[in-house]
Chain A
């Protein structure tokens, strides 16, 4: 046929046959995907799986002053959990600390979620322009060092702190209040503050994703604002609330910085005990066993939580 465009006169390109390996990858999309994924997976295996495996191995060994005896033993677990079944010489401190850590973390999670939800709702439904500006606004305080942020709470809650000097200058109290700092409540306040911004984002995303016409439909069908929230907005934002809750709960159980700085003796958590096993107490196997116990305990709590949530959602249907 006539080539009036004149661009197609030169010879067509030659088809090139690829090598056998190239053909394998060409044929199998999964192989290409995994080839791309493999460096990242390797990092995860080497920097996470292998170390956690070693940690688990350690928990079955024994510390002999500076060396580690690598004979298999359950003694560390007996020391950690033995109080539950009345094993001889087992102390209740580890169980109690774990339980207390869970309680504090749970308190932190609930507090953070209750505080964050209205803000996320405001951001998703009330702010029309410059949503990014608000998001930046809530994240900027978290660009300061975590340690210094915890430390500033000491300034606020401390003996000569903002609250005490403020209340004294107003004449409400004559002596500084000592119960503000160095107790579990202080830990709770500081952690709730530290995780505030993280809790907002997943809730905000789940609220933002809600199709606005659903809300209009609910209104159209006669729901008032509260009924509409309860029947439409809340159920659809539950996944975000769950994500936020897990994002706050899991890391706070193992925190040792905040309790150490503002918790006092009453406010120490399981993380502090584990940390000390790798420091002053120098009993790595016991520390390993305690951290494994903590990880399992967290997993159980999370699974129970997810199970309860799924039951609730089935019933809602």
Chain B
């Protein structure tokens, strides 16, 4: 994305809580109108980053610019951001209308104007007629929508969402993911979305920042993040990954030949632009769904290995297999769509099987 169209600029920002570096020298931009996710395990610093944007915390070092304006020393109530809290923070002593209109109480609007805006918001979140409900009469999903309406009515330049779907059950969560994405396209506001759920981030986001221990590991589109992670940590965090340590033996045209120990020689067309040097220590990574499971030795001359079936899990639409390979402790994970009925040739445990994969399915990562 072009930096000139950045609505948020974070420049070498750090936040320390005592000796803990919750955010450690982070710099990146978020583009106008983007659905941007901060993804990471709990305690990685993603919520702290969101609170830095909202103004509840001030950075120890560095600065944050929102729409070109420095945010140092700007109180949360003076920032052009609004937030949907993890707990929704619906005011329990106010009804739905007063909750939604809370931020406009001092805006100098006439009662009619305010009522009009609140009605529009109720329409937008598909809860018309809910205005007079008391806060305690609302379900989790309704609370979530009202928290959204309450923030959106303020016309923020950036909407911050702190795991807003975490408290909902699975089915409702999937529904809300689509709805939230549609709403974001509709209103055109930049969304910064915090989540620990990688699937959620992949489904909804334009771009995702993967955060670990206060540092941003990679910022990319969902596809790039999944298909070409830039380090072992990202590769392991997003989806499942088989890792093999190896050394680069030689380069054959665009292909690298890697000696991956028990795997033998692995031929790969590196996805990433950079080509490893000969003799470099490297990690070879292959996604489970990119490995083929064969009952007999396939004809290919390379990227084939023999193993024994050690465990299988049937998940309905697909199955997961764990194949033990000589000289390697961890079994190799293989995922296969159950396009036809379950593989009839699979006899069970300890059956010999052959694994194979395409050259361009392999990712090379620094060790």
The answer to whether any beta carbons of A and B sit under 8 Å apart in the complex is yes
Q: Residue among A7, A10, A22 with the most chain B CB within 10 A?
A: A7
Question: B180: CB under 8 A from chain A?
Answer: no
**B188 near A16 (CB under 8 angstroms)?**
no
Per-position binary interface string of chain B over residues 149-165, scored 1 when its CB falls under 8 Å from any chain A CB and 0 otherwise: 00011111100000000
**A1 near B188 (CB under 8 angstroms)?**
yes
- Out of B75, B121, B188, name the residue touching A26 (CB < 8 Å): B75
Instruction: Known contacts A4-B186, A8-B187; decide if A13 and B74 are in contact (CB<8 Å).
Output: no
- Out of B74, B117, B157, B187, name the residue touching A16 (CB < 8 Å): B74
Residues 1-50 of A at the B interface (beta carbon under 8 Å): 1-8, 10, 12-13, 15-18, 22-23, 26-27
Question: B318: CB under 8 A from chain A?
Answer: no
**B188 near A3 (CB under 8 angstroms)?**
yes
**A5 near B157 (CB under 8 angstroms)?**
no
Residue of A nearest to B118 (CB): A7
Chain B residues positioned under 8 Å from A8 (CB to CB)? 152, 155, 187-189
**B117 near A7 (CB under 8 angstroms)?**
yes
Chain B interface SS verdict (over half) = loop
**A18 near B124 (CB under 8 angstroms)?**
no
Question: B79: CB under 8 A from chain A?
Answer: yes
**B154 near A13 (CB under 8 angstroms)?**
yes
CA–CA, A3 and B67, complex, Å: 19
Chain B residues positioned under 8 Å from A15 (CB to CB)? 66-67, 69, 71, 74, 78-80
- Out of B67, B74, B121, name the residue touching A17 (CB < 8 Å): B74
Question: B205: CB under 8 A from chain A?
Answer: no
**A26 near B187 (CB under 8 angstroms)?**
no
Interface size on B, residues (CB 8 A): 29
Residues 182-204 of B at the A interface (beta carbon under 8 Å): 185-189
Question: B349: CB under 8 A from chain A?
Answer: no
Chain B residues positioned under 8 Å from A13 (CB to CB)? 80, 154-155
Question: B33: CB under 8 A from chain A?
Answer: yes
Can you spell out 20 A-B residue pairs with CB atoms less than 8 angstroms apart?
A1-B185, A1-B187, A2-B188, A3-B187, A6-B120, A7-B120, A7-B121, A7-B152, A7-B155, A8-B189, A13-B154, A15-B80, A17-B73, A18-B78, A22-B73, A23-B72, A26-B55, A26-B73, A26-B74, A27-B73
User: A-B pairs with the 3 shortest C-beta distances?
Assistant: A1-B188, A23-B73, A16-B78
Chain B positions within 8 Å of A, measured between CB atoms, are 33, 55, 58, 66-67, 69, 71-75, 78-80, 117, 120-121, 124, 152-157, 185-189
Told that A8-B187, A23-B72, A27-B73 touch, could you supply 20 new A-B pairs with CB distance under 8 A? Answer: A2-B188, A5-B124, A5-B187, A7-B117, A7-B152, A7-B155, A7-B187, A10-B155, A12-B156, A13-B154, A13-B155, A15-B66, A15-B74, A15-B78, A16-B74, A16-B78, A18-B78, A26-B58, A26-B74, A27-B58
